Every structure is written in C-alpha cells, then in structure tokens.
Amino acid sequence: MSFDADKKREHATLAERSMNEGALRKAAFHLAKAGEFALKLAEKCDGKVRQAHLREARELIEVGEELQAKAPRGSARPSAPRAVREAGGDAVRGEEDWLVTEKPNVRLTDIAGMDAVKAKLAEMVIEPLKHPDKAREWGIRAGGGILLFGPPGNGKTTLGKAVAGELEAAFFYATGAEIRSKWHGESEQRLRKLIQTARSRPLSVLFLDDLDGLLPKRGGNSVVDNRIVVQFLAEVGGFEESPNVLLLLGATNKPWDIDEAVFRTGRFDEKIFVDLPDLAAREFMVQRNLGGAPVEAGLDARVLAARLDGYTGSDIVAILQSAKRTGFRRSIGGAANLLTQDDIEQALKTIPSSATPEMMREYKKFAQARFK
C-alpha cells in the first residue's frame, strides 16, 4: 500500500510541475496515473477510507480531462480513464519490474520528523554496515531482517529507500500480489528467485511490502499461503554465510496477521513501530505541498500542521492536493486565484483519517503482547 501511495504522490507532484510549465498534456497524463494509484489504494481499503480514495481518483481524472480539453488539438488522451473502466482487471506489476534494482537518492535526513525511528534504523542497520571492522569487533552482524509496522501511508517504503540510499545499496521491492501466482509452485519460485537475486549483490536492500498479504498465518484453507511461508522460512532461516550483505526490510499495516515463525531469530529479528507523523513532519508536508501555490494571506503552515494531528502522511497529502485542485478548478474558471482556508476545510470534510482510534489501540496492544 505504501508503494501505491508513494506513486500517487509522485505523479501528483509531476502533474503540478507540468502545469506550472504549461505542459498541459503531460500534466493530464500524470493526473491520470495518480488516479490509477488512488484506485489501487481504494481496492485495499474499506468503508469511508475506500470512498475517500475513490473520490480522490475521480477528482484526479476529472481535472486531467479538463486539462486535456484545454491542451492543443491532437494531444493524446491520458490512459487512466481506461484504468477506471477496467478497475477489476490485473493491475499488478510484472516479475520483470520487481527484479529491477535501483539506488535510491533519498536519505534519512530528507525525511522530516520520525527522529526516533530514524535513529533506531541508523543504530541497527546503517552504522554497523558503515563501520564493519568495529561491528565485527563487537560481534554485531551486518544485514538481517527488520519489520516496520504501523498505520498505512506513513512512509515505511520511503524509510526503506532511505536506508538503501544511505548505504548506496541496490534496492529491490516486491509485494505479495506481485509474487503470488495462480499456477502451482510458481509463487514459491518467484519468491526464491527474488531473494537469491537480491542476495547475489555485494550489498542490497530487499523491501517486502504488505508482508501480511505475503506471509499470513498458516493453518487456513489456502495451500498457496502455507507453501509461500515455508519457502520464505527456508530461504531466510539464519541468513546463510556469504561475503555479500542482504538487509531484509518488511512493512505491514497488520502485523497480527503474519505467521509467528516469521518473527523468530534469523528472520525479522527487529521490529520498529512507525507512528503517525509528528508536528515537524506534518509542517514539512504542508510546506512542501503548498510551496509555490498561490495561498491566501494568513494561512499558516504550523497552525495547519497542528490541525492535521491524527492523520497519516498520505491523508495529509491527499487533503492538501484536494484543496489545491479545488482552487485550481476555480482559477481556470476565471474566479479567484488563491488557495483559501475554506478549500482546506472542504477537503477535511471529505477525507477522513485512515488511522482510527481503534486501529491505534490495536497497534499498542500488539506491541505490548508480542514485542515487549
């Protein structure tokens, strides 16, 4: 889910940049792609959160269509409306995508807030790998497994990329949906190939997103689930001796649904709770998303950040983007060309927090019971 939220934000940002440059057709394309990823988020949620993602997808695509209508004649139409019509189809990435590696350019210092989480990642992962001689002297093992758990849309994937960026390591990314197959035995083969490919690099980070969907508790009716869990345990049990270093990162919104054996020594030894964004992180997001936009006087970033307490990172971005789209549509209709507090208030009414009080209590209860 974090991947879809990140891609949605990426395309929304590119659309905004293209609009500022007057590239309407390009902006329409990125809005359409952002709409596609909003649809994917909706497929993974229920209730009001699902409706909010669907509403955002419609808004993104509608604005894209309006821009397309204003673009010069002969411009190609964006592809996302087709995705809306075919929302029930296959939307996962292929095997060739998750086997592609990249070296992310994001660093932990680029992430606002989350100081405790970043400090723990640096202590547990980055410093031992940057100082291997000292790590060996103290018997600290390089690599290993870390589970990031917490509410959806709070930058777990970005944290994984930042760790890879700090280490200048190859970065592999996969979700359960990308590894699973309806063909007998193929899911295990994909998982084995992915892990072995990551392990073949001198230094790599393998990020498994939505881990609860990939490694659910065994004992149910799904034979595929049981086989995938067993294959994973066989591949990462103890991390075989090798001159290469593999850091295994997992992310989940539902840690209580993961098979117990996944948490044992040699797999995901360490667990880090990624909480809702703190005030510094929220203020950074407000400034980044409203920076450059025509904003009315008196709209204070810190005051607005305080108002957004209790929202996830992806919620905050969605609220600010929705408010900006309202102001943008008003401006292209010839009305006032300023983002107003009312635009923010309207967005707040239509986009609820993805992290309910009940959900946050579940995380606390789980952490106390499982990782105390």
Write the pLDDT tens digit of every residue in 206-218: 999 889 989 999 8
Residue range 127-148, pLDDT digits in tens: 988 888 898 899 887 778 899 9
What mean pLDDT do residues 104-131 have?
Answer: 86
Q: Give the residue with greater pLDDT, 310 vs 205.
A: 310
Q: Which residue has the tokens 């307490």?
A: 309
Contact between residue 254 and residue 213 where contact means Cβ atoms under 8 Å apart? no
State which amino acid sits at residue 50: R
pLDDT at site 103: 67
pLDDT at site 100: 47
DSSP alpha helix (H) spans, 125-250: 127-130, 132-137, 156-167, 176-179, 186-199, 211-214, 223-236
Most confident of 41-55, 112-126, 183-197, 347-361: 347-361
pLDDT at site 99: 45
pLDDT at site 72: 67
- The DSSP secondary structure of 215-248, one letter per residue, reads SBPSSSS-HHHHHHHHHHHHHHTT----SSEEEE
Q: Per the confidence metrics, is the pTM higher than 0.75? A: no
- Model confidence at 114: pLDDT above 90: no
Angle ∠(362,312,11) on CA atoms, nearest 5: 135
Most confident of 4-8, 231-235, 255-259: 255-259
pLDDT at site 84: 38
pLDDT at site 102: 58
Q: Give the residue with greater pLDDT, 238 vs 32.
A: 32
- Model confidence at 75: pLDDT above 70: no
pLDDT at site 18: 80
pLDDT at site 81: 40
Most confident of 17-21, 102-106, 271-275: 271-275
pLDDT at site 251: 93
Residue range 267-290, pLDDT digits in tens: 888 889 999 999 999 999 999 999
Q: Distance between CA atoms of 112 and 283, rounded to whole angstroms? A: 9
pLDDT at site 182: 62
**Position 82 confidence tier, pLDDT thresholds 50, 70, 90:** very low
Contact between residue 159 and residue 111 where contact means Cβ atoms under 8 Å apart? yes
